[in-house]
Structure 1
């Protein structure tokens, strides 16, 4: 009789099913007790026999001799791979059956959604890795399965720690890692757009690899292009467990096209050896920053006590040609008071900024590393900029009228300095690109093929 029931499930024969239940009303209970693999609900799901499934639920809901335990057991029971009927519906894209299952009750649907197979994958994982986009959309939109979006498969952990899915499995990657591994770009786009969380997009697996690492590892060019240009983009300089960035992996693989290399470079991708943790960066450049700050402070102090044009060497309190002045006062304060005001403002800012850098380096251990790096960088740029302005004003005020035509004004000089800085920066960028390409060619002479 059990064999006849399984055959009816495979063929979707509702008439035979009803006849069997008339002969033995406990047939379903007996079947699930003796089942070692797939029960009739599994088989009907695989074959897409929706009417047969509805007949099973109709019988179980109308049977007053038992509660919902038989129904729940049939829905939650796993086959030899640990997959319940919802897993199979998601994996084979049986959309109509999936909709029937998730409507039988919120609590039961929730339990089926969170259940994982032997590989630690829930229904959402299976739908994503097999590219069943319609099923994926239903699972994402359904309230009962809302919580399982961030559940973990064998290669995954839960990066957002949602309370309903904090249980851990054997691995470290999320559902997005599965999409990349099985080259399911559309499913990846759908999930990223639905979840919209940078931490989820940049989550690591147990090897410390993000989905960008994995896309490069599996040579998924379209996925790489999508991830690099996605808004907000992935963090391209995250290191994996081997301290390798995405660019490091690309250079090792050596067979991704030039467009991919350029896209990564433009998005700020660096090799692992070029990326230092903030604490290491501060420690490495502490002495250099201290020397620069001390030199700027010295220059600012000297410009303050010995302003351009010197100081008056005598007292003259009469209302003469040079206006009243006392010994030691700055000549420039009388002859060019406007420029002297600008000079003092810029010079004082440079002096205070450089002193602030020195104090931060001496007592900065109590400040959070990221904030300390921000303060040091900001103060250093401010000190360099204002000491440059001080120099420009000094040079302008001590120049004769004949040479002022060449200098024109302080603004022109500032523009020249700015252009010079940008020229140096561009030269450095071009050199880095040259080194990058040379390194790539040396590692794989056939990378352009």
Structure 2
């Protein structure tokens, strides 16, 4: 190689290189080092983007030339982790390999190679993905997999697949990406699997089986089970099996598909290290439809107790609050014959925690909202009291009297409107006093105000119905009756929607995670030469 070309490639001096090639009419394809590296190899090694772009423009054939190690410039760029340069080389290869482009005589000689040049291996059998992963260049590996997922199906001469390397090097993001490719190899060094690689790496790692479940990849999970049927017996460090993890991280349909696998049929009653079965887990997070799915198998032990001596019914009553989903789960368990443990014969009083009594609740925002609603209700009910339905008499001797005062509906209107006004006004005053008092008094008044607000809302509902009825009943009775029926249906509709919503939660686990602000971290450890994976979830706080 001309020493000037070598120096320019090392320093990235694009202008000097361009001038030299133009003046001396150099053929860049013939400029090779003693190891058969061309100028693009050197530029790729040092990460000179502009220099590489100019080389490709002057001589595209440099992209396809390998050195004595069988490395293409793309191998070198991937090994060095130069992300921008990898993108340029990939884009150039795509453009050159495009069959719609005009193919020159020079390119036609290597047309078959150009179509899959990024899949080419070097003398060690490494693809560009192997090279990127061996030096832990995660971004480069992700870019290569996005360009051509077939790279995940490669196997080098040492018998290492990309999935094996990702597990060994603890590159979790790459593992998840490979598992989503659909086609991949799992072989490893000396016949080992990614599971062995995770164990050897120690400390922080994962197993592909649990990652596939957590990432909601049912097809990948089934592929792993087909290849290794006994992997269903695998547990993480806390003793959780595939069903425990699926309940936490999968939708209902994906959990159902997983439970249909015969390899996992015996996991329904398998407890974790705390004695919690999958039913305990589903009950703990109030996932009604998942609880129902498990009980529909008719092989769930409803009497199973965890290390604290609690059955699934006991767990459903922990932290008891006004929660429709929790209530639905508890009712369903009772309907299926669930029992409490002998240590807990009734719903424990110490666990009945009102949401407003929990730590961290923003009582200030709660009081502001309640005060605003109370003032609005009081204003509306006050105005309604002095604009009575039917109006007032304007003739003597009953001038100023309500024209429809003898009607029962108007009397009901006045009573309900008065109840609404008094309740909402009391609510507003309590909120004002509560904000001026101490925290304990504020919590106490806030809890009482919930009852007052409910009374006010129902009072306004009755006032509306009776007010409309008293005005139009004489002229159109059928319309008045329909309006009353619609008003009376509001509590029924509310109760029905609440009941349905508490059950129809196909993505309840993810919603639960978002609402409770849970965080998850994955850790892996070696216990007596057995790979165990731990998903340590921060439990919901008392808030």
**TM-score normalized with structure 1 length:** 0.45
Q: Which has the higher helix share?
A: 1
Higher relative contact order structure (alpha carbons within 8 Å, sequence separation ≥ 6): 2
